[in-house]
Amino acid sequence: MISVDDALDALIALVEPLGTEEIPLIDAANRVLASDAVARRDQPPFAASAMDGYAVNGAEADQHAQFKVVGESAAGERFAGQIKAGQAVRIFTGAPVPEGATHVVIQEEIERRGDLITITEAQNVPGNIRPAGNDFREGARIAAPRLLRPEDVALLASMNIARVTVYRRPVVALISTGDELVMPGETPGPDQIIASNTFGLHALLRDLGAVPRLLPIARDTRESLEMTFKLARGADLIITIGGASVGDHDLVAPVAASLGMEQAFYKVAMRPGKPLMAGRMGESLMLGLPGNPVSAMVCGHVFMAPMIRAMQGLPADAAPQRTARLAADLPANGPRQHYQRARVENGEITVFDRQDSSLLTILAEANALTITPPNAPAMKAGETISYLPL
Amino acid sequence: MISVDDALDALIALVEPLGTEEIPLIDAANRVLASDAVARRDQPPFAASAMDGYAVNGAEADQHAQFKVVGESAAGERFAGQIKAGQAVRIFTGAPVPEGATHVVIQEEIERRGDLITITEAQNVPGNIRPAGNDFREGARIAAPRLLRPEDVALLASMNIARVTVYRRPVVALISTGDELVMPGETPGPDQIIASNTFGLHALLRDLGAVPRLLPIARDTRESLEMTFKLARGADLIITIGGASVGDHDLVAPVAASLGMEQAFYKVAMRPGKPLMAGRMGESLMLGLPGNPVSAMVCGHVFMAPMIRAMQGLPADAAPQRTARLAADLPANGPRQHYQRARVENGEITVFDRQDSSLLTILAEANALTITPPNAPAMKAGETISYLPL
């Protein structure tokens, strides 16, 4: 058995970032930028008014000073001329500041009669003008790799970048194994249960930016597993669920080996989720998850998620752990790293009493997995513990 | 001007949850459950082994006791008979426990010779069996409304629920207004800038589960705005960006009024984002956001996001604020609620120095918006402040 950290290092060492593709900006959110994006212009491209008001020469902007309004500068259509002594131009937020003007008097601080305005308040000069390039200059870069959020998309748009180069989304084949499984909606036999892991992992993979493909359930025969592995060809990552323990019916390892799987490691010192397997299989990576429902989802968060991020060019530490204060004492841990279902609220985390790895109800109540390292001593309520958000 | 809280209450009062639809479970993640989901069976449906080992009568499971292995119970195919005195059945994780057996000896704690096994360790009896219904019973409910996460999808699958009733996704029309705007990829005139808000809001809407529709940019004429509003017909929510201030070119309010908009409120005491407008317009809701890039995105998080959640049947408080410790002192606030771009790391939050509402670069660096109530006193480094995660 190897440690969780060593297993993660081995997994990440297997991964190469996938190729890249150019896509429209409108579809760029939640994708990972693969090449630096370079601003195609200054923003603002001209000195712009920050307020609705009147543009004047700041040297003249004394309280009680009077100006003649000689024109208007609107967003999209500037005042074409130049401001002379005693002149003002009506100006709106975002509009170009006319030549000769160095200050904008906000409209709440003037009195207007016809074409004449009088400043009613003392001014902080210069004010209410955003210089050209105040936000960014042409050539400014958004550095890759970067997971693009809505705020990044807005910034890219303002840089006049209509297409971006991003990493390809990983195609992931999901294979459930076991004679005991039927799909939701089917009528199970008396000894059967419903395949649930593939559905949970399918949803998690979509959240991570992958393209999951649900394959038919593989039965506990070499022939069925081999056929299903063949259906998975072309996937960037093949995930099997179940059949990876040491039971006499666990065929995933021998069948994968016969199909050329080079196994990187097999068992990981963790609870839940010990029987984990990973390696390379032709053009695909292969990850064998335990069949236990909770174990499969926990391993999905702990191992699959970092792989999917790394395949999209993100650093391995891109899923930061968080910390919270324990609501109650926690006993000392055994030799395996322990991931426990917990609920964090207002910075305080409650570890659930029932942790049997078959309990999906407890997993659905949880919004966090606390992380207790191997052989960690007992912890007291109020101490800080690391967790993975769910 | 009304307070942010009053504006939010008014907005949520405008919203009715949308209708519902039944969808396949495979597409249910990130949707909101609209009717309680009811388990169609017990899980596990039978007493199941929690380990690979040997099922025996617990009363006989003494250290050094010997048993004859009379069959096998595998996941998906149980041992058909009944265990008699001195008999054991080979059993695998998840397999049904045979009649007559009350305990599973794990395989590491026996010695096997041919068909005979001997228990090598003292046993805690009964052990390693999951009773029927241990996770949930037939009829167990997942209560609506509930935003479905991958863990919920796994649980729903295990309940044999293949289709779920969820709230419909809100269709949202996005209208940018202003003669100064061109779309990314176009060549702007000397007085023009690139429409960025719609792209950022489009991405945010998708993250929130809405179906955004980007309409053509409306120009600063009544005709153009009216035409664009007509294109928006059928949307559950129409969002305008810009043109909602009091400048002479701000036509959104009068044109919307002429098309029947019943305005719920107009200005909100907040920074950035004062000119906000909301109301009902025929079958649609209407939200008018300020045109300033940062203001638009901040109002998107503060007002649009709770509306979209409420339209999907979630409670208005479904986007919990978080708290963090201030990295540096924060000055007293003025009369408007202040949302400041900040970066939170390891529970400590740094409010950026530059907060001008035109700076998208600062927004893209931020991962949080700190919330300072109106007239809040100055705060010291180390004090706890609320924030919205970005």
Question: Across the interface, do B191 and A363 touch by the CB < 8 Å criterion?
Answer: no
Angle among Cα B204, B370, B8 to the nearest 5 degrees reads: 60
B84 Cβ contact list (under 8 Å, min separation 6):
B100
Do B306 and B356 belong together in one domain? no
Do A246 and A276 belong together in one domain? yes
- CATH number of the domain within which B240 lies: 3.40.980.10
Q: Is residue B138 part of a domain?
A: no
> How close, in Å, is residue B292 to chain A by CA atoms?
8
Chain B hits for A149, Cβ within 8 Å:
203, 364, 390
Do B38 and B162 belong together in one domain? yes
Interface test with A, best of B153, B172, B181, B215 (most A CBs within 10 A): B153
Q: Rounded to the nearest 10 degrees, what angle do helices B150-158 and A197-207 cross at?
A: 160
* Average of per-residue pLDDT across A158-177: 97
Query: Any idea how long chain B is?
Result: 390
Do A289 and A260 belong together in one domain? yes
Do B347 and B285 belong together in one domain? no
B257 Cβ contact list (under 8 Å, min separation 6):
B263
- CATH number of the domain within which A98 lies: 2.170.190.11
Look at residue B275 in the predicted model and tell me its pLDDT: 74
Look at residue A269 in the predicted model and tell me its pLDDT: 92
Q: Is residue A24 part of a domain?
A: yes
Q: Write down the residue that tokens 């902007």 correspond to.
A: A61
Look at residue A47 in the predicted model and tell me its pLDDT: 96
Do B11 and B82 belong together in one domain? no
Question: What string of pLDDT tens digits covers the 390 residues of chain B?
Answer: 899 999 999 999 999 999 999 999 999 999 999 999 999 999 999 999 999 999 999 999 999 999 999 999 988 889 999 999 999 999 998 899 999 999 999 999 999 999 999 999 999 999 999 999 999 999 999 999 999 999 999 999 999 999 999 999 999 999 999 999 999 999 999 999 999 999 999 999 999 999 999 999 999 899 999 999 999 999 999 999 987 665 656 789 899 999 998 888 778 999 997 778 899 998 999 999 988 889 999 999 999 999 999 999 998 776 678 899 999 999 999 999 999 999 999 889 999 999 998 999 999 999 999 999 999 999 999 999 999 999
Do B157 and B37 belong together in one domain? yes
Output b/e per residue, B264-277; b: 16+ Cβ within 10 A: bbbbbbbbbbbbbb
> Per-residue pLDDT tens for A260-273?
988 887 789 999 97
Question: Across the interface, do B200 and A157 touch by the CB < 8 Å criterion?
Answer: yes
Contact (Cβ atoms closer than 8 angstroms) between residue A194 and residue A184: yes
Residue A13 phi, psi (nearest 5): -65, -25
In whole angstroms, give the CA distance from residue B287 to residue B252.
11
Q: Is residue B317 part of a domain?
A: no
Question: Across the interface, do B191 and A356 touch by the CB < 8 Å criterion?
Answer: no
Question: How sure is the predictor about A244, in pLDDT bands with cuts at 50, 70 and 90?
Answer: low
Domain-ending residue, one of A102, A130, A158: A130
> How close, in Å, is residue B151 to chain A by CA atoms?
5
Name the residue among A48, A160, A194 with its Cβ closest to that of B157.
Answer: A194
Contact (Cβ atoms closer than 8 angstroms) between residue B158 and residue A176: no
Q: Can you tell me the ipTM of this complex?
A: 0.93
Q: How many Å from the N-terminal Cα to the C-terminal Cα in chain B?
A: 26
Residue A24 phi, psi (nearest 5): -65, 150
Indicate the average pLDDT of chain A. Answer: 94
Do A192 and A76 belong together in one domain? no
Task: Say if residue A247's pLDDT is above 70.
Answer: no
Question: Across the interface, do A364 and B135 touch by the CB < 8 Å criterion?
Answer: no
B5 Cβ contact list (under 8 Å, min separation 6):
none
Do A52 and A118 belong together in one domain? yes
Q: Phi/psi class of residue A44: alpha, beta or left (left: φ > 0; alpha: ψ in -120 to 50)?
A: beta
Chain B hits for A104, Cβ within 8 Å:
none
Contact (Cβ atoms closer than 8 angstroms) between residue B287 and residue B10: no
Chain B hits for A26, Cβ within 8 Å:
199, 202, 214
B11 Cβ contact list (under 8 Å, min separation 6):
B264, B278, B287, B303, B306, B307
Question: Across the interface, do A179 and B76 touch by the CB < 8 Å criterion?
Answer: yes
> Per-residue pLDDT tens for A352-386?
999 998 999 999 999 999 999 999 999 999 999 99
On the question of a cis peptide bond just before residue B331, with omega within 30 degrees of 0, the verdict is no
- Number of residue pairs across A and B with CB atoms under 8 Å? 297
For residue B108, what are its two tokens? 């590491």
Q: Is residue A58 part of a domain?
A: yes
Q: Is residue A99 part of a domain?
A: yes
A156 Cβ contact list (under 8 Å, min separation 6):
A25, A28, A37, A142, A148, A164, B184, B199
Task: Say if residue A120's pLDDT is above 90.
Answer: yes
Question: Across the interface, do B207 and A161 touch by the CB < 8 Å criterion?
Answer: no
Q: Which residue of B has its CA nearest to A244?
A: B93
Name the residue among B52, B160, B179 with its Cβ closest to that of A184.
Answer: B160
Interface test with A, best of B93, B179, B301 (most A CBs within 10 A): B93
In whole angstroms, give the CA distance from residue A288 to residue A267.
10
Q: Is residue A316 part of a domain?
A: no
Taking the mean position of all CA atoms in its chain, how far away is CA A150? 11
Look at residue B266 in the predicted model and tell me its pLDDT: 76
Q: Is residue A317 part of a domain?
A: no
On the question of a cis peptide bond just before residue B126, with omega within 30 degrees of 0, the verdict is yes
Number of domains present in the structure of chain A? 4
Q: Is residue B139 part of a domain?
A: no
On the question of a cis peptide bond just before residue B44, with omega within 30 degrees of 0, the verdict is yes
Look at residue B244 in the predicted model and tell me its pLDDT: 62
> Per-residue pLDDT tens for B215-253?
999 998 999 999 999 999 999 999 999 876 656 567 898
Domain-ending residue, one of B280, B311, B342: B311
In whole angstroms, give the CA distance from residue B90 to residue B71.
6
Question: Across the interface, do A26 and B180 touch by the CB < 8 Å criterion?
Answer: no
**Lowest-pLDDT range of A292-296, A327-331, B233-237:** A292-296
What share of chain A has pLDDT > 70, as a percent? Answer: 98
Do A286 and A358 belong together in one domain? no
Chain A hits for B162, Cβ within 8 Å:
183-185
For residue A386, what are its two tokens? 């690391």
Domain that holds residue B75: 48-130
Chain A hits for B347, Cβ within 8 Å:
323
> How close, in Å, is residue A132 to chain B by CA atoms?
12
Residue type, B7: A
Domain-ending residue, one of B284, B311, B338: B311
Question: Across the interface, do A364 and B154 touch by the CB < 8 Å criterion?
Answer: yes
Do A293 and A183 belong together in one domain? yes
Interface test with A, best of B360, B365, B367, B386 (most A CBs within 10 A): B360
Q: In this structure, what DSSP letter does residue A318 have?
A: -
- CATH number of the domain within which B365 lies: 2.40.340.10
Do B156 and B97 belong together in one domain? no
> Per-residue pLDDT tens for A48-99?
999 999 999 999 999 999 999 999 998 888 999 999 999 999 999 889 999 9
